[in-house]
A and B are shown apart, each in its own frame.
Chain A
């Protein structure tokens, strides 16, 4: 049981490049979310999903796309990277949505130059 696995752990991108942050969980969790964390800002919700085929926008969705074709995977795509997207990204999953608390991946530190 690996929990929530995020790859890569570190990434440097040039402005305008695109990339996909991977997130996979093996706990059969229905709920999955992507957050970004910047100093002094807590965790801000980018996109979330309540099941395969269902996604919705969070607080800061611009510049990011998601899809949920399987229960296990929830990739986050940066369409055209900008320096403002430099951040630490966390993927999280939960069986019920909240009651058991979300389990977080170890994070991806992204730098856009």
Chain B
């Protein structure tokens, strides 16, 4: 059975801290791993990763995939209160199915 597991499930930090969110997966016919941010509404797309060891960056956010370890991390540096959200990891297979993890709820305090 396909499975995506995120950790931690929740995290509270202060502005300026750096956080690392984890995602591990067991998915048949892996095609890609995606990260989304959700703030009280629909998820919005952050990154898509397909190759091991290649970092994707967008401002203070970065992510990398380790296909040997079947995992990915999402880093957020110099966190701001606007980063407070649920961060979702999803893994896609060649069948077109996209499976999500439980999400990590990040709260950034001023």
Residues of A within 8 A of B (CB): 31, 33, 35, 40-45, 48, 50, 56, 58-59, 90, 92, 97-107
Is the beta-carbon distance between A99 and B88 smaller than 8 angstroms? no
Q: Kindly provide the distance from the CB of B22 to the nearest chain A CB, expressed in whole angstroms.
A: 14
Q: For chain B residues 1-19, which have a beta carbon within 8 Å of chain A?
A: 2, 4, 6, 9
Docked Cα-Cα span, A107 to B40, in Å, equals 11
Is A44 a contact of B100 with CB atoms below 8 Å?
yes
Binding site for A on B (CB under 8 A): 2, 4, 6, 9, 31-32, 34, 36, 41-45, 48, 50, 88, 90, 92, 95-103
Min CB distance A35 to B, Å, is: 7
B96 lies within 8 A of A35 (CB)? no
Q: For A33, what are the chain B residues with a Cβ–Cβ distance below 8 Å?
A: 98
